[in-house]
Amino acid sequence: MHRKYQKGALSLFWAAVFVGVVALAAMVALMSARHERNYFSEALGRFTKTDAGQMIQQTSQAVEKAAKPEATAVRKCTVNGKVVYTNVECDVANPTSRKVEMHDTAGFEAPKIPAPAASQVDSPPTMEERAIEKATR
């Protein structure tokens, strides 16, 4: 039995539509780069201001809130002979477990450069500057 039309998963029409959408996205990305604007984020900002966008944001926030477990204290304990910092494996029943205080730090800071000594400020540091100073006197 011969079929008149192909019974495939993807027809030539839908392949052309897909390639067109990809080409349009690439063109918008190149235009964004040329004009130093992000058209994708601007479109997303406009969409989120609509009623449908607000509804999607509220739904996603509710899902995140429901899926996110409550924060528990980080504890230090010994598991299989190794010291572990975790909030999952260290129970209060574990005798080696103890609560760890967390401190928010500013991270690493660059070392401060010491102020130059008074003798270095008065005398020129290089021979060239000394020669220029001697010649101008």
Boundaries of every domain in the chain: 12-67, 70-102
More confident residue, 105 or 51: 51
Percent of the chain with pLDDT over 90: 15
Residue 125 has what pLDDT? Answer: 64
- The set of residues, in sequence order, having a beta carbon less than 8 Å from that of 96 and lying 6+ positions away, is 77, 78
The tens digit of pLDDT for each residue in 36-78 reads 899 998 988 888 888 988 898 899 888 887 776 666 678 888 8
Residue 84's CB is within 10 A of a number of other CB atoms, namely 15
